[in-house]
Chains A and B, each alone.
Chain A
């Protein structure tokens, strides 16, 4: 018995592959008809091949809570998610527009704060922001860009449109998994490639390199670029190593670097000290430099901020970029785009209620069971309340939290997150909810990944896609339906 596509039903949601039971959407037609031609055994073989490829390639992520066994194999579903090129191109344009505006916003906040003076953004947002770094005021990074690497979470609602769920401007991760997902798919679904043109994605490391190289303070042909990792126990260590290797950059930990009295950063090598030009740091702001931030940090480098301020080294992302990575600021992004670019957003926000506003808070408190409540500055899906799936006790706890600290909470309607067919037990096909994290780069040029990382909530009905909480992933195909093969 092969998979029964005719019975696959994602009734209440937008399904990425199927428009109705048995009918594939145009960009997914070749894929679905190919999958249909496979027997149960063939599907099973491919699933097993994918699992062993994940293990052999050592694609892992790290879970903090598991004690001794810190590496977990990356959970991967072999059925790709397909998006039409036409739809993607427009979305990519919107993502560039958004990052462009956000960088102008951050630069403004650390310079003369005109957007606040002009009354577009209330001053309290800045005053109470956990991620505003007063230490960075007056610094002007190259090209006025603070967030060089951005991972934006997109969701598709019932209407099939993409919406921005959040902007990750601090140290977004996942891009290595995006690249590895494609490598796995190429091994296990190689035969589909004959029937459909899938846009390649593997230029990302080269684009990342160019983005970083453009930031170098020294005018030399080959700037010294390093990836600064907190080390092997970080959940994204795999990615840090992967990106360093792909870019031909040095992977360093804080203890490998030193700032000398000339305020330059050097790395310790077998032939002595070597000057570093650009640091792609994957350490949170507060751990970067014990001299300026958390004095107990053993992960960072003493004097790093001093060197950065003196213009002797570039940091990507710049410290303080996270000020725009705040769910309250998020609510203002449409106004931010309008203010700096005089344009309307191409990709829209999800409707958002600010608990700081009395009226909106009243609505939120009265409708907790319908809404998703999020803390303003958390990531990884922690500290959230999903109204429709919550208990009465949880709701009253959250009501107290919101009242105690309204600035720290926003609420959004529960989205009808799109689904895609996903293999579950016994090779059955069931709809699972998913999101999409494209990565956007900006320094002298702007670049968006072709598609991004699709994360899947592997549990039936679940909306939580974070890998730290049982999420999986799929390869993401951007397919040009107008191209003749």
Chain B
């Protein structure tokens, strides 16, 4: 398999994942804002901070209101992580790897791109946003389903799996960070107890993990349990543990993988050792930040090892 094709397939998976996660995030955020007590000031701008694209946003907009944020996150081509930009990249990458991905994936991604560009206004206006976001999520799932159902489990498959799981893990750290940051804005009173539960519940829901959390833990939603579950549960496909295992598994199947395997082993040995789940304040947020950097290191190693041919 060509190094360049491997790289493109890897990015295809990352961008599909990013599109889906971004749509999910906007969807959940809207519902979170509705549920928060009136005196809690979360604001839409948090979505921008969460994705680390403050600079790009502030270059383009003055007003940090809902309309601008949603427009920026969904439809702005100048925002490198917007749904429209990511989808464009999925399309370019599939277009240039059509010889290794199932041919229908090209049609599906075209349909999805058309759907998004034709209905973008629906997403920006609150009234029909839900349907629009669901349309995007469904499109991504259709694409992933198609790949699951018809793609060869060859090297391309493993590069896709690497991309998907790295992106997924990254998003999970960001959503946990969003939760921790929202909780830190609460004042320490009676209302905060309720608000905390709403926030952590939304964190779970934005990863579609609420159902499995309840089934596995048989506990009400509490910050420490949510954090531990999303980091360490081996079974739910969006937890850090699960993603790291999947990454390691695919890595071992690829040729000349030693350096990457070694890095993954050294990260895997101690990644959850120092987390203090009873204290989800600034130290926890630093930990998440550090985890994001580690995921970045994994990406760099993969890139160095296989893509620079």
Instruction: Enumerate chain A interface residues (CB-CB to B < 8 A).
Output: 55-58, 232, 241-242, 244-245, 248-253, 255-256, 267-272
Q: Is the CB of A245 within 8 A of B103?
A: yes
Contacts A267-B2, A269-B1: A57 and B107 contacting too (C-beta < 8 A)? Answer: yes
Binds A, one of B94-102, B131-139, B238-246: B94-102
B107/A56 in contact, CB under 8 A: yes
User: Chain B residues near A250 (CB, 8 Å)?
Assistant: 2, 5, 99
Question: A353 CB to closest chain B CB, in angstroms?
Answer: 44
Instruction: List the B side residues contacting A253 at CB < 8 Å.
Output: 4
Interface string of B1-17 (1 = CB under 8 A from A): 11111100000000000
Residues A270 and B6 in contact, CB atoms below 8 Å apart: yes
Q: Measured between alpha carbons, how far is A475 from B299 in the docked complex, in Å?
A: 47
Decide if B99 touches A241 in the complex (CB within 8 Å): yes
Chain B residues within 8 Å of A232, by CB? 92, 95-96
What's the nearest-Cβ distance from chain B to residue A82, in Å? 28
A56 to B113, CA, bound (A): 10
Cβ–Cβ contact B92 & A270, under 8 A: no
Q: How far is the CA of A271 from the CA of B255 in the complex (A)?
A: 6
Minimum CB–CB distance for A238 against chain B, Å = 8
Q: What band does the interface of chain B fall in when counting residues whose beta carbon is under 8 Å from A?
A: 20 to 34
Q: Say how far A175's CB is from chain B's closest CB, in angstroms.
A: 16
Chain B interface mostly: helix
Query: A56-B110, A249-B99, A267-B2 are known contacts; what are 6 more A-B pairs with Cβ within 8 Å?
Result: A56-B114, A57-B107, A241-B98, A244-B98, A269-B309, A270-B3
Nearest-neighbour CB distance to chain B for A457, whole angstroms, equals 28
Measured CB to CB, the closest approach of chain A to B188, in angstroms, equals 52
On chain B, the residues within 8 Å of A252 by CB distance are 2
Give Cα A55–Cα B112 distance, bound, in whole angstroms.
11
Contact of B111 with A271 in the complex, beta carbons under 8 Å: no
Q: Which residue of A lies closest to B254 (CB)?
A: A270
Most chain A Cβ neighbours within 10 Å, of B3, B254, B255: B3
Please indicate the chain A residues that have their CB under 8 angstroms from the CB of B147 in the complex: none
Complex-state Cα separation, A252 to B8, whole angstroms: 13
* Docked-complex contact B99 and A56, CB < 8 angstroms: no
B99 proximity list for chain A (CB < 8 A): 241, 244-245, 248-251
- Contact assessment for A256 and B3 in the assembled complex, using a CB-CB cutoff below 8 Å: yes
Report B-chain residues with C-beta under 8 Å of the C-beta of A256.
Answer: 2-4, 309
Q: Does B256 reach chain A (CB closer than 8 Å)?
A: yes
User: Bound state CA distance, A272 and B110, in angstroms?
Assistant: 33
* Nearest Cβ on chain A to B109's Cβ, whole angstroms: 8
A56, B2: Cβ atoms closer than 8 Å:
no
For residue B306, CB closer than 8 A to chain A, the reply is yes
- Interface: B155 (CB within 8 A): yes
Which residues on the B side are within 8 Å of A57 (C-beta)? Answer: 106-107, 110
A253 to B99, CA, bound (A): 14
A271 touches B95 (CB 8 A): no
Which of B3, B96, B110, B309 is in CB contact (< 8 Å) with A58?
B110
Contact B1 A270, beta carbon cutoff 8 Å: yes
* A/B interface sample: 5 pairs, CB < 8 A: A56-B110, A256-B4, A268-B4, A269-B2, A270-B309
Let me know if B95 and A58 touch, CB within 8 A: yes
| A268 lies within 8 A of B98 (CB) | no
A38 to B2, CA, bound (A): 50
CA distance A245 to B98 in the complex (A): 6
